[in-house]
Amino acid sequence: MKTLADLSYDELLARAAAVGDLPQLRVDVSPLTEGGKRWWTKGEGLKKWATKLHPWTALYHEILQWADMTPAYAARIASAWYHDVFGHWPGEHSHKGKPAHGHRSVGGDGVEFGMVAVTANVWLRERANLFLLDGLPDLPDGEPMGDLDDDTLALLAALAELDIELDHTRSFDPNEHKRYPKGHPLAGRFRPMVDLLKMAIVDFKDGKGKGKDKHPFEKFTRPQLMNAAKARGIKLERGEDRDSIANKLLLDLAPLSKKPDLKADLKDNPAKLDDRDLRDLAAEFGIDHHGKTRAQLLAAIRRKKKAEEAAKALPAKELPPIPAMAKLDRMPVAKLRKLARDHGIPEAGVDRWDLAIDIRKKARAHEAAVEAAAKKQQFANLDKMPIGDLFLLARRHGVDAAELNRRELIAALKVELAPRGPGDASKFHVTAKGLESLQNAVEHGTIVKESTFAHGAIGDTRKRKYADGTELVWKRTNKVGQQDAEQLASLTARALGLQAPRVYRNHPNEINMEFVHGEVAMDHRKMLAMGWNVEDIPEELVSTKQGRMMGLLDQLIVNSDRHNANWMISEGGNLHPIDHGYTFGNRPGHKLRDAGKAQYVRSGFAKHYVESAQFGYAVHGWANNDLTKADVAKIRERLVALKADFAKLGRNDWHEFMLERLEAIGQHATGRKSQLLPSLVE
Amino acid sequence: MRDMRTLQVVDENSGKSLGSIARGEDGVIHTDGIGQAIFEQVQGGLGWDEQESFDALVDGGWSNGYVSVRPAVPAAADD
């Protein structure tokens, strides 16, 4: 039977026309027919791929960049050109340098690129075994490489794309690669097969994500995997089983590496880091960026990075480390009991869950004891403390331990652990006016009661009561941006007349917030009457002046978390906004942009200001609101007055964003009756 | 006995449960009441996946000072 490979170019075109692809092919193929293939296989283009570690993969990606090229076409063409150049097929390692014999090869010297493309296209269209690769030479294991079906081509495309991405230390990002690129005939459409495979491979290799426990090649047959392996030049043993081939395919990929991260840029290309990147890095390392120049901040970050690396390099402690609770949860009971015994925790008669919790308690108790010992007797104990505990303290308190000897480390810790004075607050507050009672309690008061509500990776939250009766919520997190947002959102809310708790700060990672005596909205009788709804709010609250200002606040600061556990109702029906760490675009993947554009904010109060769909997150634009033009002017005046407070924390961009947003909302102010509340900013 | 696969959302003032966050045997996260909103808040804030976020909640909890998330204390032991 005459196969496609035996057909002349004209015959192939005729065949293509018969299956309906000719018009497109004539346009696509003709420019390349003249010299494209020659350039790639004999000319300058050869060095772009033939000298690479994975020539086929490199070529595949070069071809894929051309307009109208699909992964399947590209794979087919890459195989044919590879054969032309090396004289054997990609999977045929042991025949390297020897011409194949007794078998037909497609894409030989006389075949132009156009022909190959047409061949591939016809093949894909007919999906029959006519075939292009039906006569591949037998490989050493006696198992010839078979026909590459669509699934195998998709697998090859996924592996090839991962080769490139991993080489560039960039793992697959579904947001970037989910659709075909611009200029592609399928531009804009999802690429489910290749991308799902890539995600599955990355998840499995990385041991994270939904696909971490499922082998990505589970649904592939042995012949498919064998063909893919051979196409990638992987040597297989005679009769090698399916699982082994699958593993070889995975091992053939470069080790997974993280997305190009800021830390990498810090080392290799610091000029690439903009101010926001630097702030993010500083926050990640628990460094206060306030009042530092770019150069100072860069230097501080570098020092901190070294410190972390040094801390990691510490010799292992005698006792096995205590893992996080979630790991304990999954630990076999025998191992759990051994861990308990190692740490001197009674385990007899205790069930596994309570045992796990007791083990974690032990870990926390150790940390607390280290800290207590450090604070006792004017830090005299620091001098006797083991170096491991000193490093533990350094990490907990953000002390840069890099290049510090023991004596220097102790000195640095003494400075960090020393009681903070009112002078430290001046780094964060323009004025202490209005904060006197909080400042007095925090700086000079005695804590008589402390309840720890949370203490872990997400943050440390405690309720403190001082001897003078002051109650406050103390929060610590290593994300300075969250604390900036808490502080500035509070000021903004109070400028709008809302009774947001005041925030007093004397440390970049810690804030002290007035305690609100009231009920969490979710637990309020009016909310309970609505039945467990987490975001809906009774109209009688939304439509009050306070409700309108709550909505305005959430729009101005782009609040993504005003669910009903994040605002309070006090006696007299006053509304108190709380918890503003995730505002001003201050969360992973969010950035402040398009200040003038109406957008969804997660707040039942925000509906006063936007036209939105009845359900879902769609926002059609700004709605006319009940503020008067005079209200807007007054609010603007109050917000402008906060400029110095934002500047103090280096957040001028947040302030500008907020004013721009107010401007847009103000253009839709059509009210006739003032909705203003008196400002609470002292 | 505490159940580490179920986290309770508690009003610190009244002690009432406002919802829950639980991880099933299959690893799927189930939420109830305000649990969903808080779980989304935590996950979005950390930029972690569901499992990592749940692990962090189990390990150290979360609180805004008024509402907290912590391991539940079931009425009856299940093991």
Residue A481 burial by CB count (10 A; 0-12/13-18/19+): exposed, middle or buried? buried
How many angstroms separate the CA atoms of A108 and A83, rounded? 8
| pLDDT value, residue A638 | 95
**SS3 of residue A350 by DSSP:** coil
pLDDT tens figures, A654-668: 999 999 999 999 999
Per the model's pLDDT, the better-predicted residue between A597 and A399 turns out to be A597
| pLDDT value, residue A167 | 46
Kind and range of the H or E element at A465? Answer: strand A459-466
DSSP A272-328: G--HHHHHHHHHHTT---TT--HHHHHHHHHHHHHHHHHHHTSPPPSSPPP--HHHH
Residue B4: which of A353, A451, A582 has the nearest Cβ? A353
| pLDDT value, residue A624 | 92
Kind and range of the H or E element at A492? Answer: helix A480-495
Q: How far is CA A613 from CA A14, A550, A610, A616, A618, in A?
A: 53, 20, 10, 7, 6
- Measure A363 CA to nearest chain B CA, in Å: 11
ipTM for the predicted complex? 0.91
pLDDT tens figures, B63-75: 999 999 988 765 4
B68/A contact by beta carbon, under 8 A? yes
Query: For residue A134, is pLDDT > 90?
Result: no
pLDDT tens figures, B13-43: 989 898 999 988 888 899 888 898 899 888 8
A239/B contact by beta carbon, under 8 A? no
Query: For residue A93, is pLDDT > 50?
Result: no
- Bridge partners of B7, per DSSP, are B21, B71
Q: Kindly state the average pLDDT of the residues A88-102.
A: 45
**SS3 of residue B29 by DSSP:** strand
**SS3 of residue A405 by DSSP:** coil
- Which residue in chain A has the smallest CA separation from B28? A210
Q: Kindly state the average pLDDT of the residues A390-414.
A: 76
Q: Which has the closest alpha carbon to A565: B28, B47, B21? A: B21
pLDDT tens figures, A282-315: 877 777 777 777 888 888 888 888 777 776 665 4
Query: For residue A175, is pLDDT > 60?
Result: no
pLDDT tens figures, A479-505: 788 899 999 999 999 999 999 999 999
Residue A618: pLDDT band by 50, 70, 90 thresholds? low
pLDDT tens figures, A192-251: 566 677 777 877 777 666 666 777 887 788 888 888 887 777 778 877 888 888 888 888
pLDDT tens figures, A452-476: 888 777 888 999 999 999 999 999 8
| pLDDT value, residue A115 | 39
Residue A636: pLDDT band by 50, 70, 90 thresholds? very high
| pLDDT value, residue A146 | 61
How many angstroms separate the CA atoms of A367 and A397, rounded? 12
DSSP A28-44: HHHHHHHHHHHHHHTSG
| pLDDT value, residue B3 | 55
A588/B contact by beta carbon, under 8 A? yes
Instruction: Mention every residue, 6+ apart, whose C-beta is less than 8 A from residue B24.
Output: B5, B30
Q: How far is CA A40 from CA A43, A62, A115, A258, A352, in A?
A: 6, 10, 15, 33, 64
Inter-chain residue contact A458 with B49, CB threshold 8 Å = no
Residue A181: pLDDT band by 50, 70, 90 thresholds? low
| pLDDT value, residue A531 | 60
Average pLDDT along chain A: 73
| pLDDT value, residue A36 | 67
Query: For residue A547, is pLDDT > 80?
Result: yes
Percent share of chain A, pLDDT over 70: 67
| pLDDT value, residue A188 | 56
Tokens 């192939």 identify what position? A12
| pLDDT value, residue A670 | 94
Inter-chain residue contact B45 with A457, CB threshold 8 Å = no
How many angstroms separate the CA atoms of A242 and A239, rounded? 9
- Which residue in chain A has the smallest CA separation from B25? A330
- Measure A348 CA to nearest chain B CA, in Å: 16
- Which residue in chain B has the smallest CA separation from A563? B37
Query: For residue A530, is pLDDT > 80?
Result: no
Inter-chain residue contact B58 with A566, CB threshold 8 Å = no
| pLDDT value, residue A33 | 41
Q: What share of chain B is helix, strand, coil (3-state, %, to 5)?
A: 30, 35, 35
Contact map slice: A 73-112 vs B, CB within 8 A: none
Q: Which has the closest alpha carbon to A274: A245, A297, A253, A252? A: A297
Q: Do residues A203 and A190 touch, judged by C-beta distance below 8 A?
A: no
- Measure B73 CA to nearest chain A CA, in Å: 11
| pLDDT value, residue B4 | 56
- Which residue in chain B has the smallest CA separation from A566? B64
From A74-78, A566-570, B5-9, the region with the lowest mean pLDDT = A74-78
Contact map slice: A 510-569 vs B, CB within 8 A: 513, 515-516, 519-520, 522-523, 532, 534-535, 560-561, 563-566, 568
Query: For residue B79, is pLDDT > 50?
Result: no
How many angstroms separate the CA atoms of A163 and A121, rounded? 25
Report field, pTM of the whole predicted structure over 0.90: no
| pLDDT value, residue B25 | 83
- Measure A66 CA to nearest chain B CA, in Å: 36
Residue A615: pLDDT band by 50, 70, 90 thresholds? low
Per the model's pLDDT, the better-predicted residue between A570 and A81 turns out to be A570
Residue A563: which of B34, B68, B77 has the nearest Cβ? B34
Q: Kindly state the average pLDDT of the residues A652-681.
A: 93
Residue A21: pLDDT band by 50, 70, 90 thresholds? very low
Tokens 């925000």 identify what position? A606
| pLDDT value, residue A148 | 64
Burial call A357-390: b when 16+ CB within 10 Å, e when fewer: bebbebbeeeeeebbebbeeeebeebeebeeebb
Kind and range of the H or E element at A473? Answer: strand A471-476
| pLDDT value, residue A41 | 77
Residue A267: pLDDT band by 50, 70, 90 thresholds? confident
- Which residue in chain B has the smallest CA separation from A581? B45
- Measure B14 CA to nearest chain A CA, in Å: 9
The dihedral sign for the CA sequence B52, B56, B61, B67: negative
Per the model's pLDDT, the better-predicted residue between A109 and A442 turns out to be A442
Q: Kindly state the average pLDDT of the residues A308-333.
A: 67
Residue A104: pLDDT band by 50, 70, 90 thresholds? very low
Task: Show residues of chain B in contact with A513, CB under 8 Å.
Answer: 65
| pLDDT value, residue A229 | 81
A450/B contact by beta carbon, under 8 A? no
Tokens 């292009």 identify what position? A132
Task: Show residues of chain A in contact with B69, CB under 8 Å.
Answer: 454
| pLDDT value, residue A100 | 32
Residue A350 burial by CB count (10 A; 0-12/13-18/19+): exposed, middle or buried? middle
Structure tokens at A542: 């939304």
Residue A101: pLDDT band by 50, 70, 90 thresholds? very low
Query: For residue A107, is pLDDT > 70?
Result: no
Query: For residue A132, is pLDDT > 50?
Result: no
Query: For residue B78, is pLDDT > 60?
Result: no
